[in-house]
Amino acid sequence: MVRSTSLANQALHSPRSDSSPVVNFKWKATIKRKLREAGGEMKVKKLRKAVVGAYAEVAGDTEGVEELFEAKLAKSGVAVNGKMASLVS
């Protein structure tokens, strides 16, 4: 019992070296803002470039971000028809 408690304390107090810093980035708001700035509709590729660029300014790291963007785009309430993304009215 004493050993498991000391291991738990070590886990609580040791820094996590394998994790990257947590970044607070509002994906849904950024996606919708970029679409509003473009008049409500733009190509997905251009939207991805704009949003990933905004994320890179905040986080500084773009590794694996394109897949994350696709997941966030699907959940953001934006209509995607072929190559075009548009705000849902």
**DSSP code for 23:** -
Phi, psi of 39 (to 5 degrees): 90, 15
Find the CATH number of the domain harbouring 66. 1.10.10
Q: What is the domain count for the chain?
A: 1
pLDDT at 27 over 80: yes
Residue-number span of the structural domain to which 74 is assigned: 27-89
Domain-located, residue 64:
yes
**What b-and-e string marks burial along 5-34, b requiring 16 or more CB atoms within 10 Å of the CB?**
eeeeeeeeeeeeeeeeeeeebebeebbbeb
Of the candidate ranges 14-18, 38-42, 52-56, 62-66, the one whose mean pLDDT is the lowest: 14-18
Q: What is the mean pLDDT of the chain?
A: 82
Whether residue 72 lies inside any domain: the answer is yes
List all residues 6 or more positions away from 42 whose beta carbon is below 8 Å from its beta carbon: 34, 35, 84, 85
Tell whether the model's pLDDT for residue 8 goes beyond 50.
no
In the predicted structure, residue 22 carries a pLDDT above the cut 80: no
d(CA 69, CA 26): 11
Token representation of residue 74: 């699907």
Say if residue 9's pLDDT is above 80: no
| Mean pLDDT confidence for 6-29 | 60
User: Where is average pLDDT lowest: 4-8, 40-44, 63-67?
Assistant: 4-8
pLDDT at 16 > cutoff 50: no
